[in-house]
Amino acid sequence: MTTPSTTALWLVGARGSVATTAAVGALAVGAGLAARTGLVGDAPELAPAGLPDLDRFVLAGSDIGGVALPKRAALLAEDGVIPAHLPAVLADALAEVEARIRPGIAPGHGAAAEQVRRVRDDLVDLQQRTGVERVVVVNVASTEPPVADDPAHASWPALRRALEAGEDVLPPSALYALAAFEAGASFVDFTPSAGARLPAVAQRAEEAGLPWAGSDGKTGETLVKAALAPMFTTRQLRVRSWAGVNLLGGGDGATLADPSAGLSKTRSKSRGLQAALGYPVDAPVHIDNVPDLGEWKTAWDHISFEGFLGTRMTMQFTWQGCDSALAAPLVLDLARLTARAHERGFSGPLGALGFFFKDPAGSGEHRLPQQWDALVAFAADLGAGQLGAGR
Amino acid sequence: MTTPSTTALWLVGARGSVATTAAVGALAVGAGLAARTGLVGDAPELAPAGLPDLDRFVLAGSDIGGVALPKRAALLAEDGVIPAHLPAVLADALAEVEARIRPGIAPGHGAAAEQVRRVRDDLVDLQQRTGVERVVVVNVASTEPPVADDPAHASWPALRRALEAGEDVLPPSALYALAAFEAGASFVDFTPSAGARLPAVAQRAEEAGLPWAGSDGKTGETLVKAALAPMFTTRQLRVRSWAGVNLLGGGDGATLADPSAGLSKTRSKSRGLQAALGYPVDAPVHIDNVPDLGEWKTAWDHISFEGFLGTRMTMQFTWQGCDSALAAPLVLDLARLTARAHERGFSGPLGALGFFFKDPAGSGEHRLPQQWDALVAFAADLGAGQLGAGR
Amino acid sequence: MTTPSTTALWLVGARGSVATTAAVGALAVGAGLAARTGLVGDAPELAPAGLPDLDRFVLAGSDIGGVALPKRAALLAEDGVIPAHLPAVLADALAEVEARIRPGIAPGHGAAAEQVRRVRDDLVDLQQRTGVERVVVVNVASTEPPVADDPAHASWPALRRALEAGEDVLPPSALYALAAFEAGASFVDFTPSAGARLPAVAQRAEEAGLPWAGSDGKTGETLVKAALAPMFTTRQLRVRSWAGVNLLGGGDGATLADPSAGLSKTRSKSRGLQAALGYPVDAPVHIDNVPDLGEWKTAWDHISFEGFLGTRMTMQFTWQGCDSALAAPLVLDLARLTARAHERGFSGPLGALGFFFKDPAGSGEHRLPQQWDALVAFAADLGAGQLGAGR
Amino acid sequence: MTTPSTTALWLVGARGSVATTAAVGALAVGAGLAARTGLVGDAPELAPAGLPDLDRFVLAGSDIGGVALPKRAALLAEDGVIPAHLPAVLADALAEVEARIRPGIAPGHGAAAEQVRRVRDDLVDLQQRTGVERVVVVNVASTEPPVADDPAHASWPALRRALEAGEDVLPPSALYALAAFEAGASFVDFTPSAGARLPAVAQRAEEAGLPWAGSDGKTGETLVKAALAPMFTTRQLRVRSWAGVNLLGGGDGATLADPSAGLSKTRSKSRGLQAALGYPVDAPVHIDNVPDLGEWKTAWDHISFEGFLGTRMTMQFTWQGCDSALAAPLVLDLARLTARAHERGFSGPLGALGFFFKDPAGSGEHRLPQQWDALVAFAADLGAGQLGAGR
């Protein structure tokens, strides 16, 4: 096997909690300073994929503000999200990443077409300066509200015309996806934002022969749902209702307490349950901003189900997780997998990455075991070409 | 496809809650009076197996006491375990089953060899009188304490000599298994008792070319464990401890509050977690007798796990289930599958039925998704012969 | 002690779940057919009050629709809210109550002043026909949306003028309260609706020398909050956030899923926590309609608190209760207490009944132990006059 | 008011987690470096007591081993039990306390009478060297197994004879209590060990005119039980069962996993519920050692209760607390209160301190609100003498 090629990981929202934890983690793991717990790409079942390791990545990105990465890492350490000693140990490496963070797309600051060009140029420039073979853009910025329908979303030609005419028809996440594709980079949306999912944007990726993945990383409640729903269905137990509440602090809590952005998230969370169960079910989901929880989120779910002869029973679970610690390794896994898919010539939505997402693009499968099987099969496909011709 | 052949289901502990619920359910479902919720054998994925339907079964069994089946059904209806109207509707059919219940093996009442012969004769007699093609014995009696080691357990010849010498080396569950094999019947142990698992008894089944399955039906906490453990492992999250408590009322609670019988159960519950996770973990399990809960059981589990960069997180779940309503359809599923395996010429422990058990005989697999895949593959095997030669 | 005087209990929403359970319970307990569990008025500490027993009450009321009481009782028995045998045993008595149910106030059906007169006449008529000494009106109808401010709410003269002018300035709950006071009856609001709380309506009660109580019966989550908040405060543990979610089925769930009515409820639920703790705290509360839960409600609360040296800890609780079974005895208790207060000459808001309410009128106390102490003291006051002059 | 007098706080088990947290906290709060959260003695309702503040205490104690206090504090900071910066800031002060820690009583090391004399001498010596007006001994050592009955426990004369005869009839906790009383010091048992509860030892305290308090600090599950039980009783809801499980790590978990010591604890935990409810109830309690939880403990309780017309309902709660952070301020509160009682001339068991204990000596009251009221009344008594003569 040849040495995996080098890749740049461009994080949109590069100074946020998830991006900072991912950066600290990639640097720490790459330097042998931290265990590899939580990295799905390390599973023996995925070894055939020949994924690039974390020390093969150059980290960079963009943000519309925020404190500098080394400072942000120190704050996360204070909150117990990352080990207390790492920010100091990694100070130089974090400063290098910070130096590669460019201004992000701020709504209302310039024409959309111009913003796409600017980000594209940033990506191309990064690739040239660092000499990496390819770039993968991962969106971990704040969740956007749902996008209003627009005729320009229907096809890439229509969208191009609208952008050239100066129309404001795309949210930032989609502008980033376009910029990635214009720069020959792959794209991953870890948020429920539109990203590459609008038909016109997806068409642009297809045209450019580039892979992309999304959307909305599955880090807590929805992960458990995806694991438990098949238990009920294979046992032929009928779920009658599945209600959930999510308490979030931090910036995420504040963003999602805004009903319009929260709507993107709760829609994304609800979509999968019916698919996983195979029938519709009452499944209210709430998100509450509870600032004192900080980076920690607590979810409680109540499941009412029916068994033999109509007997009604219930299950409840509480999930108390650190959002950034759950999300960061998945961001790195997705970068490794998508970069490898790019290298191996895959294009379009990578449905086999549904294991990572609440709302998987390119797949209608929401059952975790089946998503895992699909991921393992994909890993074999990624590695197959090692031994022979490309696809 | 030819009409599935008729089978007798002989329940050991035939007047207990699980057996009574199974009998009421089989009669109600067979007569179209109740929905089929909870019957795993109805899953479309298992259709290739060509399982006999519930109306093809003759119900019978043995018990060492207990109130008559129609009365027991009425008591379960009062407790809300079965629908209030069914005992009256099914009164005649239940009385017929009651008429087929024979005295069970009571410890200390006669020589073991004699007891085996008596049960064997009961089984042969049932088959001759009813004209069924085969008999499947399912043990749903009270859990026995762990069996003390004995040299006679090592091989069938040694065991036969010991029994002929009048030695008392087997618990009732193993005597029933032996009796089943002597009568040419298959055997399923739904409890954590020894049943057919002692090497000598398993050897007897092999010699007779008969299939058997066990042990300890997976109806609640362990079912959830089997579904959740793979979520942690595929996400590379490291489980640090997994503590559980089970509150049980009813006869089961009283039996398992006896430390010696409880030991069989908690051992059976603990065995699987390490196998499912792939590494050892602190996993204390308690069973408490809480009489006021009646037929309902409540389990609470607390899982401590570690994610990226060592962050510690927790998950808890509460399961509030009706034990008999969860167990009864599995008893019927196991009877259908084992009888079909018998018909198709399978022998020895049916490892592919591990989906149903806490402590699967013939399989080291404890992850629910993998157990489901094995069951689906087994269903295909069961059906394959439909189209051609036997095995 | 003389025999307690007879009273009529007029239930607004007389065919609803709470009213039906209260009626069945009053009749069953009065006839010695059911235990007295849940009746606060039976506590030995309240014995000095000399409360009238349940067999001294004549039941009546109004509703704007609904199935007849005997049928409703049968439906509740099917849902397991009341014992299965009671509807048949009490059939005649329930039919008598049904015969005393009059049409309720439906919004938009006639001028407000006219509606008040009609209800007043119904109350007076009831008293004359049955010969009871007094009437207590208890509102258990559906929760109303918050009332828009109106200048007529400020004083009874202003309100009287507005009503006479045909203005529609009062919700039904307030019209019922007015009608009660016009008829010389006392009034209890078991819902979070306006009832007697508008200053103008309360002024009318004061003028008439009549007692009233409210509002919003404390039956589940808020009850637990009131019990736990003093635990935190007396231990000097600082609550940082207290988030709650309520899953409700039945008509109540549907009503409160309507954001405007739900707002009355969540406001009522939030008000007390700050008062009980003595400082403001983030306390989001959600109500979700989950129809499959029927008459059962499940609440989950998550409390984050801080201890010595700033250590952060959490507590969670789940409450799974049958709303009508929790509310009905309180309705009867409130009728007994308010009727007795009426008899003893009390007037105005009965702050000492805050033990029963989420949002107690006439009291700022929300800590359950202190509310209990106030109730016990009130019981002594109620009984004091037994021995001497009135007040 | 005169300046409160100075006191020495002698901690038995002075290098354990609770004692170390108490020492760090007393020093930090006394120096204005930490907030006073969790200190019950600071409640405004207790102000009349005129309690000495933390800066009036000299800290000392004994232990049979363990790492030095400054090191232990550093370990607790690593575990997040105390703020990371405090061990360094308080290094000198902690070293001073460490210098005052004397060897503890190790079972089997010398005659009991001799050990009592040695500890007495240590206490007297401390008082003379530091010039404090009095000493209070608080036992926070590991829980002992229940004590076997012995005739010498019946009276102080009998016990004195047995000790002089060299008999080994007392556990260390009782030897410490005796030593305290011999030295003219007061005594508090924060553990479920025998301490001063044996009649002979209590008689010695009475004879010496010294106050004592105990036993078993109420820091988690039992605290919640004491707060919730009165909610059920005042609402006349009948508790049917109350099952609990406690997951503990740290040294406490290991000690209590030993069935004999665990028995002391679970007995202590069970005693109160029946008293608080007023009737017996099935209430199994388990303690599990889960080492990975470290200083944190998690309790889960399941309460089954019955309401109006026999409806059965349930409540569950989970408590996730840091044991040392919960216990340490109570240790300081008890020292303040007991020292003040000593100063004010109280003697014998201080039943009014039951608010702090699972198994209150001198009181049969287990309801938290009533315990609070008793504590507030006691505070008034403690202060009363300020204005006039002693008692």
**ipTM of this predicted structure:** 0.95
Query: Does the pLDDT of residue D384 top 90, yes or no?
Result: no
pLDDT in the model for residue A385: 60
Q: How confident is the model at residue D268 (pLDDT cuts 50, 70, 90)?
A: low
Statement: residue D266 has pLDDT above 90? no
Query: Which amino acid, one-letter code, is at A356?
Result: F
- Among A240, A289, A316, whose Cβ lies nearest the Cβ of C292? A240
- Please write the tens of the pLDDT for every residue from B161-170: 999 999 999 9
DSSP-derived 3-state class of residue C318 = strand
Residue of D88, D92, D95 whose CA lies nearest to D69: D95
Q: Which of chain A's residues have a Cβ under 8 Å away from the Cβ of C300?
A: 245, 300, 302, 316
The answer to whether the beta carbons of residues D278 and D237 sit under 8 Å apart is no
Element holding A189 (H helix, E strand)? strand A186-189
Burial label, B154 (beta-carbon count in 10 A; 0-12, 13-18, 19+) = middle
Q: What are residue C194's phi and psi, to 5 degrees? A: -65, -45
Q: Is the minimum CB–CB distance between B304 and chain D shorter than 8 Å?
A: yes
pLDDT at residue A298 is higher than 50: yes
Determine contact, residues A60/A126, Cβ cutoff 8 Å. Answer: yes
Distance of CA A158 to the CA centre of its chain: 27
Query: Which chain A residues are Cβ-neighbours of D84 within 8 angstroms?
Result: 84
D49, two tokens = 């007591």
Contact between residue D238 and residue D229 where contact means Cβ atoms under 8 Å apart: no
The residue with greater pLDDT, A75 or C3, is A75
Residue D197 has pLDDT above 90, yes or no: yes
CB–CB contacts below 8 A, A to D:
3
Residues C144-198: pLDDT tens digits? Answer: 999 999 999 999 999 999 999 999 999 999 999 999 999 999 999 999 999 999 9
Q: Neighbouring chains of B at 3+ CB pairs within 8 Å?
A: A, C, D
Look at residue C385 and tell me whether its pLDDT is greater than 80.
no
- Residues on chain D touching C317 (C-beta within 8 angstroms): 315-318
Q: What is the distance in angstroms between the Cα of C123 and the nearest Cα belonging to chain D? A: 28
Q: Give, as one character, the DSSP assignment of residue A82.
A: S
Structure tokens at A101: 């963070």
Q: What are φ and ψ of residue C307, in 5° steps?
A: -115, -155
Give residue C271's pLDDT band: very low, low, confident or very high (50, 70, 90).
confident
CA-CA-CA-CA dihedral for C245, C249, C252, C255, to nearest 10:
80
Residue range A162-176: mean pLDDT, rounded: 95
Could you list the beta-strand ranges (E) of C5-133: 7-12, 57-63, 101-103
CA distances from D240 to C37, C56, C319, D243, D310 (A): 12, 31, 15, 10, 11
Q: Model's pTM, two decimal places?
A: 0.94
Task: Quote the minimal CA–CA distance from D224 to chain C in Å.
Answer: 8
Neighbours of D360 (CB within 10 A): 27
Tell me what pLDDT residue B257 has: 66
Rounded distance between C-alpha atoms, residue D201 and residue D4, angstroms: 29
State how far the Cα of B187 lies from the Cα of B12, in Å rounded to an integer.
10
pLDDT by residue (tens digit) across B172-182?
999 999 999 99
- Closest to C240 measured CA to CA, from C329, C311, C340: C311
Chain C residues within 8 A of B84 when measuring between CB atoms: 84
Cis-peptide into B324, omega within 30 deg: no
| Token pair in block for residue B331 | 């008893």
Interface contact flag, B84 C84, Cβ < 8 Å: yes
Give yes or no for A241 touching C (CB within 8 A): yes
DSSP A97: H
pLDDT in tens, B3-25: 545 999 999 999 999 999 999 99
Q: Do B236 and A307 touch (CB under 8 A)?
A: no
With cut-offs at 50, 70 and 90, classify the pLDDT of residue B265.
Answer: low
User: What is the C-alpha to C-alpha distance for residues A277 and A238, in angstroms, rounded to an integer?
Assistant: 9
Whether A358 and A271 have beta carbons less than 8 Å apart is answered as yes
Asked if D318 has any chain A CB less than 8 Å from its own CB, the reply is yes
The Cα-based distances of D43 to B170, C39, C202, D36 in angstroms read: 67, 35, 37, 10
With contact defined as beta carbons under 8 Å apart, do A229 and A319 qualify? Answer: no
The beta strands (E) that lie in A68-142 are given as: 101-103, 134-139
* Contact yes or no for D250/D381 (Cβ under 8 A): no
pLDDT of C108: 74
Neighbours, chain C (3 or more CB pairs < 8 A)? A, B, D
Distance in Å, alpha carbon of A329 to nearest chain B alpha carbon? 7
Query: Subunits that touch chain D (at least 3 Cβ pairs < 8 angstroms)?
Result: A, B, C
**In what order do the strands lie in the sheet containing C296-306?**
C285-289, C238-248, C296-306, C312-322, D312-322, D296-306, D238-248, D285-289
The residue among C236, C312, C302 whose CA lies nearest residue D356 is C236
Count of CB atoms within 10 A of residue B123's CB? 24
* C387: its two tokens: 């021995």
For residue D273, pLDDT beyond 90: yes
Q: In what order do the strands lie in the sheet with B211-214?
A: B101-103, B57-63, B7-12, B134-139, B186-189, B211-214, B348-349
Whole-angstrom distance, CA of residue D215 vs CA of residue D274: 18
Residue with tokens 């409360």: C51
- Left, alpha or beta for C131 (phi > 0: left; psi -120 to 50: alpha)? left
- Ranges A101-110, C63-72, C218-227, C380-389: which has the least confidence: C380-389
Which residues in chain B have Cβ-Cβ distances shorter than 8 Å to C84?
A: 84
Beta strands B285-289 and A312-322 are unpaired
Query: Which two tokens mark A308?
Result: 């033999």
The answer to whether C213 touches C189, Cβ cutoff 8 Å, is yes
3 state DSSP class of A103: strand
Q: What is the pLDDT of residue B221?
A: 94
At C229-267, the pLDDT tens digits run: 999 999 999 999 999 999 998 766 677 766 666 666 666
pLDDT at A387 over 50: no
Whether the per-residue pLDDT at C390 is higher than 50: the answer is no
Instruction: Test D313 with C307 for CB contact under 8 angstroms.
Output: no
The pLDDT tens digits for C82-137 are 999 999 999 999 999 999 999 999 877 789 999 999 999 999 999 999 999 999 99
How far, in Å, CA of D287 to CA of D281, rounded? 19
pLDDT, tens only, B97-110: 999 999 999 877 78
Asked if residues A340 and A382 have their Cβ atoms less than 8 Å apart, the reply is yes
Left if phi > 0, otherwise alpha if psi is -120 to 50, otherwise beta: which for D240?
alpha
> Is B292 close to D316, i.e. CB distance below 8 A?
no
Least confident of A341-350, B149-158, B159-168, D247-256: D247-256
- pLDDT of D354 reads 98
The pLDDT > 70 percentage for chain B reads 92
Cβ–Cβ gap C243/A241 under 8 Å: no
pLDDT reported for residue C110: 84
Q: What is the mean pLDDT of residues D183-210?
A: 97
Q: Rounded to whole angstroms, how far apart are CA atoms C35 and C200?
A: 41
CB nearest to D37's CB, from C43, C228, C307: C307
Nearest of C241, C323, C313, C318 to residue C281 by alpha carbon: C241
d(CA A355, nearest CA chain B) in Å: 9
Whether omega before B241 lies within 30 degrees of 0, making that bond cis, reads: no
Contact B336, B41 (CB under 8 A): yes
B-D C-beta contacts closer than 8 Å: 62
Q: Which residue's entry shows tokens 């600082």? A: C238
DSSP for B113-173 reads HHHHHHHHHHHHHHHHHH--SEEEEEE-SPPPPPPPP-GGGS-HHHHHHHHHTT-----HH
Tokens of A238: 């009928």
How far, rounded to the nearest angstrom, does the alpha carbon of residue A247 sit from its chain's CA centroid? 20
Q: Are B28 and A311 in contact (CB under 8 A)?
A: no
Of the candidates C236, C19, C242, the one whose C-alpha atom is nearest the C-alpha of residue C138 is C19
Average pLDDT, chain D: 93
D284: nearest CA in chain B? B288
> For residue B1, what pLDDT band results from cuts at 50, 70 and 90?
very low
